[in-house]
Structure 1
Amino acid sequence: MEILGYILSVFIGISLGLIGGGGSILTVPVFVYLFHLEPTLATSYSLFIVGLTSLTGTVYQYSKGYVNVKAALSFGLTSVVTVFLVRKYLLPEIPDILLQVGAITVTKSTAIMVFFAALMLAASVSMILGHREKELIGGQTNLVKLLGYGVGIGLVTGLLGAGGGFLIIPALVLLVKIPIKKAIGTSLFIITINSLVGFAGDLGHVYIDWQFLFKILAITVLGVIIGSIFGRRISGDRLRSGFGWFVLTMGIYILSRELF
């Protein structure tokens, strides 16, 4: 199973390089089901992998002129603060057993994976229908919605260790009116900041196996380089749709495994 985990790590990087998100939502399931890590630890490791992998993609996209630094910093401010607060103060305070009624016990780990599966289902719909984003560009930028998106993305990143690219890209396209190609590069920059700040909030709370992390990182970085190169030649709509169906399948599998 670990061999499969290493193989899927390549695709995590490829997805980040191709569509500026999506791959990070596979990282936690790979760590939990294939490397047999506890879900809370898996979210911490995911933040490290996703953050540095996205940084590699950001550097490449920036060299091609596909990163809007000003938009990334203004949009990412609320999400960065939210991520840090969630990882540093909220997550450690959540009890291991959330609910116990008779023989039914809902643990923190189960809740995280169920929440993650629900997020994957929502993400898959967003990716499958992503081609509609271009049709909706227009109107005035709504600052309240933008700030709300930042907090929401921060909660997702902080609780689940996912970069939130599937939320960031539509927000950049619809609210900030950034072209889709530049939104992908800008999304990687925001994911980098959010993920690494979230991981910093974990230091001192969890045990870090640095050798394992850097091994996975080397694989995902290779993937993001491959994805960034091929992303310039492949239709973004086809990429999002195909990956969306894959994420939908994974979400259904995780949900059924955790509940039944």
Structure 2
Amino acid sequence: MWLLALLIGLLSGIVIGLVTVGGSIIVTSMLMLMSAVFHLQLNMKQIVTTTAFYTLFTTISGAIYFWIQRLVVHKIVLYFGIPALLSSMISSLLANSLNNQVLQGIFAFFSLLAAVAIILPSSNKDLRTDMEFPYVISIILSIIIGTVGGMIGVAAGFLYMPIFLRLFRLSVKQAIGTGMFVGGMLCVGTILGKLSWDYIRIEVIVPLSISGIIGVLIGGKLTTIISEKWLNLLMCLIIAAIAVQTHIVFLADSLMVPLPVIITVSLIMSATFTWLIFKYNPIRERTGA
């Protein structure tokens, strides 16, 4: 189990280091799969707690790297991070009374919204110092996302990234660095709501976190040699794959939907996302310019 946890942590860490989005969701999905296949008896609340610890350690290591590279927008960290910490702590406490099916449904729903939002075209211009900062909108959005992240145990990078790219017009690398700081603060709130040994599985958290930190450093280094347009494409592909995968798990595990229906839904979603990516992805416009 340690070897499998190390591999999952390393892979997810590289994804987090590259594009912020997807790493914690991969961990959540793989832990659910490990629990079912190897009979580890990990319930959804233990998975949420494990993912929160893993994501906290990996985002801290990645955030330091992007801070050194001056790719963190401090004002966004302040007005998104603090509300996210408080709201995630409250929702994490409330989620202790929810069953696995409800948590999986919330997870699947917001992954779909994030996929559509991040694939649609957005401006990658830097945040201008003379533009009016949307304080109220920032706090409201952060509370909403913090609530979701606290329930499902992720740093919610897959929700923050569309906002940072579209609302604040950050570059992809700025959004990644800023998202790591905000996501780390969200994870702190989630963990504070799960401070019980009933939810903490040390034998899973330790190998995941160690390999995850290494993976984030590798992913962060790769961002220096990969262009913005390819990072953007990778982000779209990851978030689309996550949306499809989470819906498959929800339909099969929680709703017990027949296999033919699951296959049909997954094919429709995959085809739709593929069409959206190739229709709206700005890479095509840049290469044709």
Residue 13 of structure 2 aligns to which amino acid in structure 1? G
For residues 149 and 222 of structure 1, the distance between their equivalents in structure 2, rounded to whole angstroms, comes to 31
2:46 is the alignment partner of 1:56: no
- After superposing the two structures, state which structure 1 stretch, 183-192 or 136-145, moved more: 136-145
RMSD: 2.5
What is the rounded CA distance, in whole Å, between the counterparts of 1:67 and 1:38 in structure 2? 35
Aligned with residue 154 of structure 1, among 119, 143, 146 = 146
Match of 1:66 in 2: 71
Which residue pairs with 1:17 in the alignment? 17
Distance in structure 2 (CA, Å) of the matches to 1:82 and 1:218: 28
Instruction: List alignment gaps of at least 5 residues for structure 2.
Output: 258-289
> Normalized against structure 2, the TM-score is what?
0.76
- By relative contact order (CA 8 Å, sep 6+), the higher-ranking structure is 1
Matching residue's letter, 1:47: A
> 1:30-89: CA deviations, max 9, x gaps?
11221341011111111110011100101111111112233202221211110111223x
Q: How big is each residue's C-alpha offset from its partner over 1:86-139, in whole Å with a ceiling of 9 and x where there is no partner?
A: 223x223x25xxxxxxxxxxxx1111112212222223333433x524389887
Partner residue in 1 for 2:122: 132
Cα distance in 2 for residues equivalent to 1:252 and 1:5: 23
The match for 1:191 is: 183
Any stretches of 5+ residues in structure 1 without a counterpart? 96-107
1:125/1:10 CA distance change after superposition, 3 Å: farther
- Aligned-pair distance for 1:3? 5.7
Q: How does 1:215-254 map to 2 (within 5 A)?
A: 215-234=207-226, 235-254=230-249
Q: Deviation at 1:187?
A: 0.5
Deviation of 1:149 after TM superposition, in Å, equals 0.8
Between the two proteins, what is the percent identity of the paired residues?
23
1:249 deviates by: 2.9
TM-score normalized by the length of structure 1: 0.84
Q: CA deviation at 1:5?
A: 5.2
Using the alignment, how far apart are the partners of 1:177 and 1:141 within structure 2?
A: 12
Q: For residues 13 and 107 of structure 2, what CA distance do their matches in structure 1 show?
A: 19
The CA distance in 1 between the partners of 2:2 and 2:242, in whole Å, is 20
Q: Distance in 1 between matches of 2:100 and 2:20?
A: 28
Equivalents in 2 of 1:3, 1:230: separation in Å? 24
Paired with 1:184 and 1:83, the residues of 2 have a C-alpha distance of 20
2:248 partner amino acid: Y
Residue 49 (structure 2) pairs with residue 44 (structure 1): yes
How far apart are 1:252 and its partner, in Å? 3.0
